[in-house]
Structures are given as structure tokens and as C-alpha cells.
């Protein structure tokens, strides 16, 4: 993958390209605020749902100990900081709901700005065409879900970890990927993919150290939580172990979104398919190009997400870096997938009206007869097609 006519502004590098990317990243932040802020469209966000369940406890208490908290320990620290800022501002007459939400804007914006800067660095190194760099920082899902949950934090750490590994910074990469996995599980699959690639490069000792260091980093925050407050750790574990099929690939096969057998099959597939994909793709690139390594690692994460029994739409933030490694044609597959993914939450709270318009008796947007789940399933098929197309090139 290369980019011609660099001095004509067609690539993401150079001062003009830099400025253009940074302007777009500012616009993405502003659009995200307009979508979710109460002053504007006030669209739903996951973390404000938690606040709404128990505002007083959130402001005056501590996550895990004083109220149930389903996010990871690192997020608990950020959440605690935002809630105490909101509590402080409320003493000066500011609305705590708006204050805590805007604190989250600041936190996620910092990580997003770092991600946009990283995209520029990667674009410079491999001559990524500007349109692909722009899609990586301004994909439809990034715009809509930037302030929806905490995925941008883990996505940044994952992308930076894979980038540094492609530059042979193995141990720093292990720390970053492990840290990303401690925020959200998806970078674990980048760790697995990278581990396989290192082994296939005949670096057995290095691969073992990489795996142990990354997994130890991922586990450490949970170990600290368990030692400090075991009930909080057990609640977190129990909460996620009992989750249902959320927009997952097998939703069209069952009326029971809690089906344990299908969830077990999903868990096996989300682990095995990326492993197989990494192995067969690595064999197609015996020279081990750095850009190809990043592309396969990131696509392995996308495949893991597609086979997971939980595919929340904000997880598409993990797919955004893939745009940088696509051809001009294959980028349209991911863009179509991204648009469908955005439509899930745009239509979610209007599902009843949509089903009625189509003459469908729906039990809600969680079930297979809902048009929302048709959209969710189509975006999964597009990931599978994209992975197959990219591997052939």
C-alpha cells in the first residue's frame, strides 16, 4: 500500500495533511457533544444510564463499594474523578448531571486526540491516503459513539500497542496492549494475534515474554480490586458472565437471548476464528511487512467482535484504525458496515414505530424479529466479507 503525489496533499503526511486531520478531529469532538449533550440532541449514553440509577450515591460514594459498578477498575478511577468534579461543581450551583457528562467529554476527548495524533503518525510512516486517515478518525461510529462509552481509551491503547509491536518495540507494546485489555477485553485478541505472529517469526522466547507481560498487565487492576474489595470484583465478574446475546451473530437462530449453548459456541468462535485467520493470513505474507502485520492484527480483533455474544455498537471504535490499511474499494465495505452500526442506536428507541411501519409484531429491539437485529446482523456479515477480501489481496 502506498500513496503517490505526496506533495499534492493526497496523503496524510506533511504540514497541510496534519492540519487537515487535526481540524477534522476537532469537528468530530464537537459533533459528538452535539449528539449527546442535553443542550442539543441528548442522545442516550451508557455511562449516564449508570448515573441515572443512583445519582446521589454516584456523587457522594465510591464505585463498587457504595453502588454497583459494571466497568473495569481503571474506568472506576476515571469515573470517580468525574463524579467528584461534578460534586464540587454542584456546590457552586452547577447541574451535577451536566457536569459529570461534560467531565466525560474531556476525558474521552483527551484519549481521542491522542488517537488522532497516532493515526497521523501511522499515516506518515506508511503513506496512508488522506481519505483513509480521515475515515480512521471520523468514521460514522466514532462520531456517534465517542461519548457513548469508554471504548476510545482501549482502542487507543490497542492501536498504539500494535503499532509499536510492528516497529519491534515488543515489551512496551505488551504493556500497552495489556493495559488496553484491562480497560476492555477486545485488545486481548490483538495480544493473541500478535503472539501467533511473533511465534511464526521464530521468536519463541520473545513471544512467551510478550504474552506473559501483556496478560499480567491486563490482570493486575482486577487483582488489585479483588484484594481491596472482593465483593466489587465478584459483582463485576457475575454481571458480565450472565449477559445475553446483544446484537450478536446468532440472534437470528434463537428466541432465547440467554441461550447458554449458543453463548458457549460464540465464546469458542470468537477465540478460534481470529487465531485461524492470523495463521492463514501470516502465511500469505512470508516477508512480514509491518503494515500487513497491523492490518491482520486489527482484523483479528474485528472478527473476535463479530463472533462475540456481545457486540455493542460502540465496539466499532475498535474497527476504525482498519480503514488505514484498506484499498480504495474495500474501504466501502467497512464504511457500509459502519453506517449500519451507527443506525442501530439512531433507531433503537424508535424501534416500535419502525416495526409498526413495516407491519411487524416485535417484542423489542433485542429480539430476532426486530428490524434493529436485521441491521445488526448485516453489519456482522460485512465484517466477514471484509476479512475475506483483505486476506486475498
Do residues 271 and 226 share a domain? Answer: no
Tally the domains of the chain: 3
Task: Report DSSP letters for 193-257, one per residue.
Answer: HHHHHHHHTT-HHHHHHHHHHHHHHHHHHHHHHHHH-HHHHHHHHHHHHT---BS-TTGGG-S-T
Residue with cell 470517580: 80
Co-location of 261 and 237 in the same domain:
no
- State pLDDT tens for residues 10-26: 454 444 457 788 899 99
The answer to whether 257 and 363 are in contact (CB under 8 A) is no
Q: How far apart are CA 182 and CA 74, in angstroms?
A: 7
Q: Is the pTM of this model over 0.85?
A: yes
Q: Give me the mean pLDDT over the 216-237 stretch.
A: 96
Phi, psi angle pair for 309, to nearest 5°: -80, -5
Which tens digits make up the pLDDT trace of 52-62?
A: 999 999 999 99
Decide if pLDDT at 2 tops 60: no
182, 217, 242 — which closes off a domain?
242
Task: Check residue 285 and give its pLDDT.
Answer: 54
The arithmetic mean of pLDDT across residues 92-120, rounded, is 95
Q: Are residues 185 and 57 in the same domain?
A: no
Same domain assignment for residues 350 and 279: yes
Residues of the domain holding 387: 243-393
Contact 134, 156 (CB under 8 A): no
Residue-wise pLDDT for 37-79, tens only, equals 999 999 999 888 889 999 999 999 999 999 999 999 999 999 9
Asked whether residue 133 is domain-assigned, the answer is: no
Domain membership of residue 193 (yes or no) is yes
Q: Is residue 220 part of a domain?
A: yes
Query: Do 297 and 385 belong to one domain?
Result: yes
Mean pLDDT of the chain: 90
**Taking 70 as the threshold, does the pLDDT of residue 284 lie above it?**
no
In this predicted structure, which of 235-249, 285-299, 336-350 has the lowest mean pLDDT? Answer: 285-299
- The answer to whether residues 386 and 264 belong to one domain is yes
Residues 250 and 378 in one domain: yes
pLDDT band at 173; cut points 50, 70, 90? very high
- In the block, residue with C-alpha cell 446468532: 250
Tell me, yes or no, whether 132 lies in a domain.
no
Would you place residue 271 in the very low, low, confident or very high pLDDT band (cuts 50, 70, 90)?
Answer: very high
HSE value, Cβ hemisphere, 13 Å, CA-based, for 99:
20
211 and 351 in a single domain? The answer is no
Q: Residue 216: left (phi > 0), alpha (psi -120 to 50), or beta? A: alpha
Same domain, yes or no, for 265 and 302? yes
The predicted-structure confidence for 315-359, as pLDDT tens digits, reads as follows: 999 999 999 999 878 999 999 999 999 999 999 999 999 999 999
Q: Of the residues 111, 127, 143, which one is the last residue of a structural domain? A: 127
- As a whole number, mean pLDDT of residues 293-297 equals 89
> Among 38, 22, 165, 25, which Cα is nearest to 108's?
25
> Would you say residue 272 lies in a domain?
yes
Q: Classify residue 323 as exposed, middle or buried by CB count within 10 Å of its CB (0-12, 13-18, 19+).
A: buried
In a domain, 279, yes or no: yes
Instruction: Choose between 125 and 29: higher pLDDT.
Output: 29
| Domain termination site, one of 219, 242, 265 | 242
User: What is the C-alpha separation between 291 and 279, in angstroms, rounded?
Assistant: 16
Q: Say if residues 145 and 317 touch (Cβ distance below 8 Å).
A: yes
pLDDT of residue 328: 78
pLDDT value of residue 391: 73
- Indicate if 262 and 353 belong to the same structural domain: yes
Predicted pLDDT of residue 392: 65
Rounded Cα gap, residues 100 and 45, in angstroms: 12
- Residue 83 falls within a domain, yes or no? yes
pLDDT greater than 80 at residue 218: yes
Q: Across residues 149-174, what is the average pLDDT?
A: 94
Do residues 71 and 162 share a domain? no
Residue 137: the pLDDT is 97
Confidence of residue 35 (pLDDT cuts 50, 70, 90): very high
Q: Do 87 and 25 reside in the same domain of the chain?
A: yes
Average pLDDT of the residues in 125-139: 93
Task: Confirm whether 139 is domain-assigned.
Answer: no
Amino acid at each position: 500500500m502506498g500513496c503517490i503525489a505526496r506533495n499534492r496533499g493526497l496523503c496524510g503526511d506533511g504540514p497541510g495533511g496534519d492540519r487537515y486531520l487535526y481540524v477534522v478531529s476537532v469537528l468530530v469532538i464537537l459533533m459528538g457533544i452535539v449528539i449527546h449533550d442535553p443542550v442539543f440532541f441528548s442522545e442516550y449514553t451508557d455511562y449516564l444510564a449508570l448515573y441515572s440509577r443512583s445519582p446521589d450515591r454516584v456523587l457522594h460514594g465510591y464505585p463498587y463499594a457504595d453502588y454497583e459498578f459494571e466497568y473495569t477498575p481503571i474506568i472506576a478511577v476515571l469515573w470517580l474523578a468525574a463524579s467528584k468534579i461534578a460534586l464540587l461543581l454542584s456546590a457552586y450551583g452547577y447541574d451535577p448531571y451536566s457536569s459529570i457528562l461534560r467531565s466525560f467529554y474531556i476525558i474521552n476527548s483527551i484519549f481521542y486526540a491522542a488517537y488522532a495524533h497516532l493515526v497521523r503518525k501511522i499515516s506518515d510512516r506508511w503513506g496512508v491516503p488522506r481519505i483513509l486517515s480521515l475515515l480512521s478518525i471520523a468514521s460514522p461510529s466514532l462520531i456517534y459513539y465517542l461519548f457513548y462509552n469508554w471504548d476510545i481509551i482501549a482502542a487507543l491503547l490497542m492501536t498504539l500497542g500494535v503499532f509499536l509491536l510492528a516497529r519491534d518495540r515488543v515489551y512496551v507494546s505488551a504493556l500497552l496492549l495489556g493495559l488496553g485489555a484491562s480497560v476492555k477485553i477486545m485488545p486481548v485478541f490483538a495480544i493473541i494475534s500478535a503472539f501467533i505472529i511473533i511465534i511464526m517469526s521464530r521468536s519463541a522466547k520473545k513471544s512467551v515474554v510478550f504474552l506473559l507481560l501483556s496478560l499480567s498487565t491486563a490482570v493486575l487492576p482486577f487483582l488489585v480490586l479483588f484484594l481491596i474489595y472482593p465483593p466489587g470484583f465478584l459483582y463485576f465478574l457475575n454481571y458480565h458472565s450472565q449477559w445475553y446475546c446483544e446484537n450478536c451473530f446468532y440472534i437470528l437462530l434463537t428466541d432465547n437471548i440467554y441461550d447458554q449453548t449458543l453463548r458457549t459456541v460464540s465464546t469458542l468462535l470468537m477465540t478460534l476464528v481470529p487465531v485461524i485467520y492470523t495463521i492463514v493470513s501470516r502465511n500469505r505474507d512470508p516477508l512480514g511487512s509491518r503494515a500487513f502485520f497491523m492490518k491482520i492484527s486489527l482484523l483479528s480483533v474485528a472478527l473476535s467482535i463479530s463472533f462475540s455474544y456481545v457486540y455493542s455498537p460502540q465496539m466499532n471504535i475498535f474497527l476504525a484504525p482498519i480503514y488505514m490499511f484498506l484499498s480504495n474499494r474495500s474501504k466501502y465495505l467497512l464504511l457500509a458496515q459502519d453506517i449500519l452500526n451507527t443506525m442501530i442506536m439512531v433507531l433503537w428507541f424508535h424501534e416500535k414505530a419502525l416495526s409498526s411501519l413495516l407491519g411487524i409484531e416485535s417484542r423489542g429491539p433485542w429480539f430476532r424479529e426486530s428490524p434493529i437485529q436485521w441491521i445488526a446482523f448485516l453489519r456482522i456479515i460485512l465484517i466477514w466479507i471484509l476479512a475475506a477480501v483483505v486476506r486475498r489481496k
